[in-house]
Chains A and B, each alone.
Chain A
Amino acid sequence: MKRWRNVWRFLPLLSVIALALTGCGNEQLTAMLPKGEGAEMQFNLMMLSLYIMIGVFVVVALIYTVVLVRFRRRGESDNEIPEQTEGNVVLEILWTVVPIILLLILAVPTVMTTFALDEGTEKVPEGATVIKVTAHQYWWEFEYPDLEVKTSQDLYIPTGERVYFELVSKDVTHSFWVPTLGGKMDTNTATTNKMWLNAQEPGTYYGKCAELCGPSHALMDFKVIAQEKEDFEAWAEKMKEAGSQAASDQAAQGEEIFANSCIGCHAVGSEGGNTGPNLTNFGDREKVAGILDHTDQNIKDWISNPSEFKPGNNMPAFGDQLNDEELDALVVYLQGLKVEE
């Protein structure tokens, strides 16, 4: 009976592993199913360090199990005083040197990969796509200086090449993280950080803010939309040319409301302010404000009272200023702002 105590100890652990390993997570979010060159390099290092450490754990677990089974005191009457061993120099050397060797095995690829991930960031290769990312409380601004495109929330990139990022923050420190494609880099206020990401296949990948930045830190999701090079270039062309478009009377009414109430903070094309997200392709966006499903009702609710959905955010509430009819017109206008079919 007493021997089984050791197995009992691992049972909760095993059941938890079983519970937690229900799949490797959401395909568009998990770092365990890499879809980017950087994420793959990182995953490989994760596995190397994990296997080395599992090896160490197995050795510890073996000694531990033997100790707990063989060297128990057999009841109150077992009063024998064991030999008071001082130590063993050979063992001390062994369990100092072997871990050092294991760490060397880990350290070499670690340093190599650390430098590889920084490759090209200071002097970007000719013709590469460069994107300036500015993090705000609680949204993401993306500018493509060479392509003369500005957008927000949905980050379009070409696949199969390293895309270079310049990361900065407007207000507090945030962190730019797309787990399936690569690791994160903080967006600081006083310095610009540089990194690259390389999406291997087209798809939509989830991005997260990964530095506590206020109440709505959890709601600062963004999307990376990776497209084949030709599709991406077509998108960029259309974005560069895009401007305000109103395809119907109601949309035109909405356009007018936008010009009166929104344009101070939000830009469409090159017209408008930049304290709030650029809305040029708002109609194409995956989500409203990064988190809400892209429905008409959600757009109305958001504009009426943004703080209800993102506590602490800077956009004022327009529910009192705009009546239902005006909101409907605004929604039609906004939904019409598209560059994709």
Chain B
Amino acid sequence: MSAHAYKKKNPVWDWLTTVDHKKIGILYLASGAFFFLLGGLEAILLRVQLLYPEFDFVGAETFNQLLTMHGTTMIFLAAMPLIFGFMNAIVPLQIGARDVAFPFVNSLGFWLFTAGGILLNLGWFLGGAPDAGWTGYAPLSTTSPGNGVDFYVLGLQISGIGTLIGGINFLVTIINMRAPGMTFMRMPLFTWSSFITSGLILFAFPALTIGLALLMFDRLFGSQFFAAEAGGNPIIYEHLFWIFGHPEVYILVLPAFGMFSEIIATFARKRLFGYSAMVFATALIGFLGFMVWVHHMFTVGLGPIANSIFAVATMLIAVPTGVKIFNWLFTMWGGKVSFPTANLFAVGFIPSFVLGGMTGVMLSVPPADYQYHDSYFVVAHFHYVIVGGVVFGLFAGMYYWWPKIFGTVLNEFLGKLHFWLFFIGFHLTFFPMHFLGLMGMPRRVYTYLSGQSLDEANFAATMGAFLMGLATIIMVWNIIQTSVKGKKAGNDPWDGRTLEWAIASPAPEYNFAQTPLVRGLDAWWLEKRAGNKAMVAAEPLDDIHMPDSSILPLVLSLGLFIAALAAIYSNWIIAIGGLVITAAAMILRSVIDYHGYHIHKEDLPAEGREGK
């Protein structure tokens, strides 16, 4: 590794001010992991309360807060940041770039997410967390007493801005910064998925922001958008929420699909089957994802015409998704498949997600949905696709890319233990829930009455949750152990196919000493099969220009955090003060000239050689 001609930094200051996509990736991954554990704890508490009928472990009000925070935390504070963490850590490496298009904005996105996440959870300490469900339907959310829902409305708006600018950043990065020779149809599938996901973010998040803003106005400023007595209509909120909410679930799952495409191909030692079809299917899923939101509202009473149109549109999404499943299977067909933990999760994902997809098609039938909707059948369905799809993807990605990010390898034995316990626990928890729903158990209920035949399945579900908890503890132990004394990794521990494996583990500060020349799909695999030890360089060795780090993203986010907290308590002076801090940070960023710094070519490895 080379020495750099820049001042030694205090590590705390370094991490608070970094604009390096690799460090921001680690920040996102660490925060996302923390919130995943928090959301998991909330889930365990929910399941303990549902262990027995009419059980009295947590009361009704606390249960509603737990269920709201479990969903909100898992989706917005765990899954999304973990996805952004991987996108940050890996996408620039996969396209042969040195960073994302807008490093400052990248950091800003992370700090905004952090501010929003903290604000959301402050409710626990300040009189009650939000309790109107992660969907926050009016009029329950507008009339819910106390400040709980205010934390939801403002926390999500702030972290939502972070997500939106993150999406924009990746769109520009992928369009503008691909290495020479990397056409769109030579991009790895994870990059493609990140690209399409970023497009979804761009168009979906504004709808959420509007819905939340209207909620905020009703709660904080006395407007009546959702008050029937005043001529308002809560259904508008439902539309706005789901116009965001449905694309959101594709925002969650498409990156996971991208990860699986890389992992399955790598561990089958075979290129991805049907690359063009996979790209096209991903794009189609993303596009169709905007056309189906009313399937969350079949029972709202919009009428048979609306319900039928959206039913057919929803069924259509099954087609490209099925195409992907078959292409993954046929990638492995004829291959030489090995099963390190990353591939265990990838292979375990296939039947699990297909089950979730099956119930998705069942749910797309409005008359049947009139029974399933808001029952445990839906809870079963979405956990099958989110846990079986997104969470398995995140676990797989973690085991797969850990070496590239941290330079060590996670312990295989603990990894396999994690997989099996989690897999068994997952099915044990969520499979019975299909039947609970059909047997008449609504969702979001803090208890169920005895004598309604709901006891055994609930008990089994809770046992599964304990198993998943145990599996997670083992995973955390693996992470801690590996961080303290993990086995060092080479640059290419899995005989990988894509560019990130062509450089050292962990990647050097500048990623590529010389931008690589890409000669085809699976660029690194191509070079290796041609007998080369490194990528061909696309440019001569030269000084590398790096962006300056900055404390302003943190300050900007802090200002918004202060403003939001003050607004919740109607302290308008402090609220405006917070906005002034944010504005000041924006002005400073605009007027100060940031020249960056250079890493001199003398400090880089010898010309033409990448990595070690």
Annotate A170-195 by CB proximity to B: 1 below 8 A, 0 otherwise: 01110101011011111011110110
A71's partner among B323, B334, B371 (CB-CB below 8 A) is: B334
* Known A96-B323, A114-B367: A218·B60 in contact at CB below 8 Å: yes
Instruction: Say how far A337's CB is from chain B's closest CB, in angstroms.
Output: 24
Selected contact of A82 from candidates B336, B440, B447, CB within 8 Å = B336
Pair B334/A193 contact, Cβ less than 8 Å: no
- Taking a contact as CB atoms under 8 Å apart, the answer to whether B270 and A85 are in contact is yes
A to B CB contacts below 8 Å, 6 in the list: A45-B368, A73-B269, A87-B276, A91-B274, A103-B315, A107-B312
> Please, how many angstroms separate the alpha-carbon atoms of A206 and B440 in the complex?
9
Partner of A19, one of B268, B325, B457: B457
> Which residues of A (69-83) have their CB < 8 Å from a CB of B?
71-74, 78, 80-83
Q: Decide if B337 is an interface residue (CB 8 Å cutoff).
A: yes
- In the complex, whether B271 has a CB less than 8 A from a CB of chain A is yes
Task: For A25, give its contact among B140, B362, B371, B435 (CB under 8 Å).
Answer: B435
Q: Ordered nearest first, which 8 A-B pairs have the shortest CB separation?
A: A183-B370, A25-B439, A218-B445, A193-B301, A215-B60, A29-B440, A189-B228, A87-B274
Complex-state Cα separation, A217 to B61, whole angstroms? 10
Chain A residue with the shortest CB-CB distance to B442? A210
**Contacting pair A96 B319 (CB below 8 A):** yes
Q: How many whole Å from B330's CB to the nearest CB in chain A?
A: 7
Q: Contact between B304 and A114 (Cβ–Cβ < 8 Å)?
A: yes
0/1 per residue, B439-452, Cβ < 8 Å to A? 11011111111011
A274 interface residue per 8 A CB criterion: no
Which chain A residues lie closer than 8 Å to B307 at the CB level? Answer: 114
Q: Would you call B371 and A31 a contact (CB within 8 A)? A: yes
* Cβ contact within 8 Å between B322 and A95: yes
Interface string of A1-43 (1 = CB under 8 A from B): 0000000010011001101111111100111100000110110
A128 in contact (CB, < 8 A): no
Q: How far is the CB of B320 from chain A (nearest CB, A)?
A: 8
Q: How far is the CB of B603 from chain A (nearest CB, A)?
A: 37
What residue of chain B has the Cβ atom nearest to residue A60's Cβ? B354
User: Would you give the 0/1 interface string for B389-431, flagging 1 where the beta carbon is closer than 8 Å to chain A?
Assistant: 0000000000000000000000000000000000110011001
Which of A22, A82, A114 is close to B268, meaning CB atoms less than 8 Å apart?
Answer: A82
CB of A259 within 8 Å of the partner chain: no
Given A20-B460, A212-B140, A183:B369 Cβ within 8 A: yes
Cα distance A22–B452 in the bound complex, in angstroms: 13
A57 touches B354 (CB 8 A): yes
- Do A71 and B268 contact each other (CB < 8 Å), given the known contacts A46-B368, A113-B367? yes
Q: Per a CB cutoff under 8 Å, which of B235, B277, B365, B447 touches A110?
A: B365
B198 to chain A, nearest CB (A): 26
Q: B456 contacts the other chain (Cβ, under 8 Å)?
A: yes
What chain A residues lie within 8 Å of B335 (beta carbons)? 71, 82
On whether A42 and B350 interact (CB within 8 A), knowing A206-B440, A291-B449, the answer reads no
Give the contacting residue for A32; candidates B274, B316, B439, B449; CB below 8 A.
B439
Query: CB < 8 Å: which of B140, B427, B442, B529 contacts A208?
Result: B442
Which residues B330-388 have CB closer than 8 A to chain A? 330, 332-339, 347-348, 350-351, 354-355, 358-359, 361-362, 364-371, 373-375
CA distance A182 to B373 in the complex (A): 12
CA distance A61 to B375 in the complex (A): 28
A83, A190, A311: which has the most chain B beta carbons within 10 Å? A190
B274 x A92 contact (CB < 8 A)? yes
In the complex, which residues of chain A have a beta carbon less than 8 angstroms from the beta carbon of B367? 38, 41-42, 45, 110, 113-114, 117, 183
Contact indicator B370/A182 (Cβ below 8 Å): yes
Are A31 and B275 in touch, CB under 8 angstroms?
Answer: no
Tell me, in angstroms, the Cα distance from A194 to B303 when the chains sit together. Answer: 10
Shortest B56–chain A CB gap in Å is 11
**A66, A78, A115, A206: which contacts B336 (Cβ < 8 A)?**
A78
Residues of B within 8 A of A193 (CB): 300-301
Residues of A within 8 A of B277 (CB): 87, 92
Q: Is the CB of A212 within 8 A of B440?
A: no
Report yes or no: A114 in contact with B460, Cβ–Cβ below 8 A: no
Report whether B431 and A217 are in contact in the complex, using a CB–CB cutoff of 8 Å: no
Complex Cα–Cα for A232 and B63 (A): 40
Residues on B with C-beta less than 8 A from A216 are 60
Interface 9-mer from B14-22, B131-139, B248-256: B131-139
Report the minimum CB–CB distance from B309 to chain A (whole Å).
9
| Distance of B296 from chain A, by nearest CB (Å) | 12
Output the least CB separation between A288 and chain B (Å): 13
The verdict on A206 contacting B452 (CB below 8 Å), with A45-B365, A64-B329, A107-B312 known, is yes
Using a CB-CB cutoff of 8 Å, which residues 306-327 of chain A contact chain B? 311-312
Proximity string of chain B (133-158) to chain A, C-beta cutoff 8 Å, 1 when within and 0 when not: 10001011001100000000000000
B304, A118: Cβ atoms closer than 8 Å: yes
CB 8 Å contact bits of A208-226 with B (1 = contact, 0 = none): 1111111111110100000
Interface size for B (C-beta < 8 A) is 103
Does A16 lie within 8 Å of B431, measured CB to CB? yes
Q: Cβ of B451: which chain A residues have Cβ within 8 Å of it?
A: 26
Considering the chains assembled together, what is the distance between the CA atoms of A66 and B337 in angstroms?
12
Q: When each residue 26-68 of chain B gets 1 if its CB lies under 8 Å from chain A and 0 otherwise, what string results?
A: 0000000000000000000000000000000001110110000
Partner of A12, one of B137, B428, B446: B428
Contact of B234 among A63, A87, A190, A209 (CB under 8 A): A190
Q: Is B438 an interface residue (CB 8 A)?
A: yes
Using Cβ atoms and an 8 Å threshold, which residues of chain B touch A115? Answer: 304, 308
- The reply to whether B232 and A190 contact each other, CB–CB distance below 8 Å, is yes
Query: Is B483 in contact with chain A by the CB < 8 A criterion?
Result: no
Question: Is the Cβ of A49 less than 8 Å from the Cβ of B361?
Answer: yes
- Looking at B235, B326, B339, B354, which has the most chain A CB atoms within 10 Å of its CB? B326
Contact A184 B444 (CB under 8 A): no
Tell me the bound Cα distance from A218 to B56 in angstroms: 14
Residue with the greatest number of chain B CB neighbours at <10 A, chosen from A66, A115, A167 = A115
A234 contacts the other chain (Cβ, under 8 Å)? no
Instruction: Pick from A52, A60, A312: contact of B60, CB below 8 A.
Output: A312
Chain A residues with Cβ below 8 Å from B445 are 217-218
Residues of A within 8 A of B375 (CB): 210
A311 to chain B, nearest CB (A): 4
Query: Do A312 and B61 have beta carbons less than 8 Å apart?
Result: yes
Q: A80 — which chain B residues lie within 8 A by C-beta?
A: 336
Among A64, A106, A182, A191, contact of B301 (Cβ-Cβ < 8 Å):
A191
Q: Identify B371's interface contact among A87, A179, A206, CB under 8 A.
A: A179
Provide the residues of chain B in CB contact with A42, threshold 8 Å: 367-368, 370-371
- State which residues 44-64 of A face B: CB under 8 Å: 45-46, 49-50, 52-54, 56-57, 60-61, 63-64
Residue of B139, B325, B368, B369 with highest tally of chain A CB at under 10 A = B368
Point out the residues of chain A lying under 8 angstroms from B550, CB to CB: none
With A67-B329, A82-B336 known, 11 other A-B pairs at CB within 8 A are A25-B438, A32-B439, A46-B365, A81-B336, A177-B440, A177-B442, A190-B228, A208-B442, A215-B63, A311-B60, A312-B60
* B452, A71: Cβ atoms closer than 8 Å: no
Which residues of A lie under 8 Å from residue B358 when comparing CB positions?
50, 53-54, 56-57
Residue of B nearest to A32 (CB): B438
B301 and A20 contact, CB distance less than 8 A: no
B61 touches A31 (CB 8 A): no
A156–B362 CA distance with the chains assembled, in angstroms: 32
Nearest chain B CB to A109's CB is how many angstroms away? 9
In the bound complex, how far is the Cα of B424 from the Cα of A86, in angstroms? Answer: 35
Contact B351 A60 (CB under 8 A): yes
Assess whether B273 is interfacial by the CB under 8 Å rule: yes
Instruction: Please measure, in the bound complex, the distance between the C-alpha atom of A66 and the C-alpha atom of B299, giving whole angstroms.
Output: 42
How many whole Å from A122's CB to the nearest CB in chain B? 10
Contact, CB under 8 Å: A218 / B447 = yes
Q: Which of A71, A173, A180 contacts B140 (CB 8 A)?
A: A173
Given A20-B431, A53-B361, A85 and B140 touching (CB < 8 A)?
A: no
Contacts of A78 in B (CB 8 A): 336
| Contact present for B323 and A95 (CB under 8 Å) | yes
- Chain B, Cβ-Cβ closest to A104: B315
Q: How far is the CA of A12 from the CA of B509 in the complex (A)?
A: 46
